[in-house]
Amino acid sequence: MLMTPPKSGRVLGILVVFIVAMIISSAYSTGITAIRREGGIRYSQQAAGESWLSGWSYRKSHVVEGASGAGSHYNIKLKVNHGTGTDAAGSVFCNGLCQPDFDDIRFTASDGETLLDYWTQESSYSDYAYFWVEVSESLDTDTSIFVYYGNSGVSSVSDGTSTFLFFDDFENGWNTEKWSEYHGGVVVSSGEVVLEGDTEFENRASVFGRTYLSSGVSYHSRAKWSDTLPTFQRWCTFTDNWSSTEKIEIYGTITHGQVTCLARNDEVQTYDQFDVSSPTSYHEYSFDYAADRVDFYQDSTLLTSISSNIPDEPLVPHLGEGNRPGSQVWVDWVFAAKWMPSGPSHGAWGPQQTETGTPPTTQTTTTIITPPPLLAPLVAGGLASLAAVVGGFVYSRRRKEGLSTSEEDTTPLKALRVPREVEVGQSVAIGLAAERGEVTPTIIDRTDQRQTGTIEIASGFDAVGEDLKLAVKIRNNSELIITDLKVILDVPSGFEFVKGTDSTENLGNIVAGGFQSAIFWLKPLRCVDGEYGGSVVYRDARGQQHVVEIPEKRLINICPMLTSTERADEVFARLKSGS
């Protein structure tokens, strides 16, 4: 028996149903992001209407938590890991889907397509890379950026000059637009600047930057210095001029393995001295320069904080050597980043997304949340029924076209479990149709239509100094990802593996159409004329393991006694012609 509730109850019920229906209808009709899991990795499909960086297959969003006064063009540091793991703070994992040398990593603003300037500080092949990114939007409040990866056909566009307030890595020689004319022993070679001391002032290495900087910067320098002849080596310094009445610096003292951290204002200074580890090896030295304090670091170790005699005038970067002949400083790069105390910080990471045009598929069971019969007509056709309320129950008059006429169905939201492979972009629509009873759900199974487990193997070798560099390149010619890729190399006796390599190289995953290379370094112990081969082991998208033999090739090395002869290059070129 249908009971009619009080008028006020009907109005309230209709209003509630209307609001809920509009929210659900809007969510399902405008491209709600669908989530799936594959191999422990969370995926989501790009919501309709979002911009996407053309040519890239994957991305993750990252919230940068703002701080008042940070403004625009603030610099943040991120670590990108090649393998799998849990994204947190400033560290993100690309699940084996980026290039092993990280050349395809790109960063965009919150719109998903405006590229951000970045610089690659350090990378380890197929392991990790550190990036500095210039966030163009204001960080006075929270904002989001995107990290893109999954494009095997691009090279790095790392650009420190565009990323920082001041930058030089000396890769293109001495840049007179960044530095003033120098005097003394200054040599730029192989991407580093070498400064040498001398007893005569005019012969003593000394250079000054052309960019004036004030507080609110973090200055970094990667350097090493000759500990055997220490004498006031300056590789991490801000100063005002030759007289240095205003100065901030970390410099080597006349005591072996010791540095001085100093702040000077109007010729009055405060300093601390510290012993540092392995000064003759490269380290990153830096200081964070605030208006009322300077923090000094070797790598990530805080050496000291100075809060008195802080300079209040604009300063320029300075590199220099002392007064002892033969004393040297090597500097790999320097940069000044925009920075502030208690500045912006790293927030949450979003799930891995794929572009709408190529929705991912999965063979695992996918849970799709769908509306119950009560709300199905509202989702399918808007507010197409009247609602009545009695007590705490909502009754709905159904349309006659194929829908239930039950007046007492109060079924809550429930999950429709869709087994087998389902296109994420279509699963919601399929779920709705099935729940309404209008159609028989069709489960899309594309695995029979796509190539899986098809790879192409190429290999070759070359001489590098006294060693052989042997590469095995694997291309994924299938239409789905391959995982757990491992290359096992079999070489003739007479070689030993060097430079941290051994007979097995784990390469992780390769996306459809992508490639990776396993690099092996071999040191010949004697004359060798034999064949190398081996096998490639991997799993296809179904999880099935495959083992493919590496085609054998003749491997001949120049005998060690020939490497010093004038004909060595000619002989080796002839021997490796078949490689």
The single residue listed with the structure tokens 């007046």 is 407
pTM over the 0.75 mark: no
- Residue 445: its pLDDT value, please? 34
User: Rounded distance, CA 511 to CA 41, Å?
Assistant: 14
SS3 state of residue 528? strand
| Euclidean distance between CA atoms 358 and 55, whole angstroms | 11
**Which stretches of the chain score pLDDT less than 50?**
1-5, 7, 17, 20-21, 23-40, 48, 357-371, 373-452, 561-565, 579
pLDDT of 44 reads: 57
Determine contact, residues 462/468, Cβ cutoff 8 Å: yes
Q: How many CB atoms lie within 10 A of CB 556?
A: 21
Exposed/middle/buried for residue 176 (C-beta within 10 Å: 0-12, 13-18, 19+): exposed
Each residue's pLDDT tens digit, 353-411: 997 544 443 333 334 444 454 444 444 444 444 333 333 333 333 333 434 334 444 33
Distance CA 59, CA 45 (A): 10
Contacts of 267 (CB under 8 A, 6+ apart): 245
On whether the CB atoms of residues 202 and 181 are closer than 8 A, the answer is no
Residue 159 CB partners (closer than 8 Å, separation 6+): 117, 118, 119
Check whether domain 455-575 has CATH 2.60.40.10, yes or no = yes
Number of neighbouring beta carbons within 10 Å of residue 25:
18
DSSP at 266: T
Q: Is the CB of residue 548 less than 8 Å from the CB of residue 535?
A: yes
> Which residue intervals of 382-481 are DSSP H helices?
424-436
Strands (E), 214-320: 217-225, 233-239, 247-252, 258-265, 268-275, 283-289, 294-298, 301-306, 316-320
∠ CA 320-219-316, nearest 5°, is 55
The pLDDT score that the predictor gives to residue 48 is 47
The arrangement of secondary structure in 172-204+218-334, i.e. its CATH architecture, is: Sandwich (2.60)
Query: Cα(317)–Cα(164) distance, rounded to whole angstroms?
Result: 14
**How far, rounded to the nearest angstrom, does the alpha carbon of residue 476 sit from its chain's CA centroid?**
22
Query: CA 579 to CA 564: how far, in whole Å?
Result: 23
Rounded Cα distance, 432 and 424, in Å: 14
How many other CB atoms are found less than 10 A from the CB of residue 327? Answer: 26
pLDDT for the residue 399: 36
- Where along the chain do its domains lie? 7-36+357-436, 51-163, 172-204+218-334, 455-575
Going across the sheet that includes 467-476, the strands are 455-464, 467-476, 515-524, 495-497
Q: How high is the pLDDT of residue 229?
A: 54
Domain 51-163: which CATH number of 2.40.128, 1.10.1060, 2.60.40, 3.30.70: 2.60.40
Side-chain-side CA neighbours of 205 within 13 Å: the count stands at 26
Domains 172-204+218-334 and 455-575 agree in fold: no
Place of tokens 């205003």: 246
Beta bridge partners, 273, equal 260
Instruction: Phi first, then psi: give them for residue 258, nearest 5 degrees.
Output: -120, 140
Amino acid at 36: R
Note whether 548 and 474 are within 8 A (CB): no
* pLDDT score at 426: 40
| Predicted local confidence at residue 448, as pLDDT | 33
- As a 3-state breakdown, the chain gives helix, strand, coil percent values, each rounded to 5, of 10, 40, 45
Classify 544 as helix, strand or coil.
coil
Closest CA to 352 of 509, 123, 122: 509
- Give per-residue pLDDT as tens, 24-70: 444 443 333 444 444 445 555 555 457 899 999 999 999 999 999 99
What tokens were used for 409? Answer: 């169905």
Residue 4's contacts (CB-CB under 8 Å, 6 or more residues apart) are 10, 388, 390
**Beta carbons within 10 angstroms of residue 215's beta carbon:** 20
Is the separation of the CB atoms in 362 and 36 below 8 Å?
Answer: yes
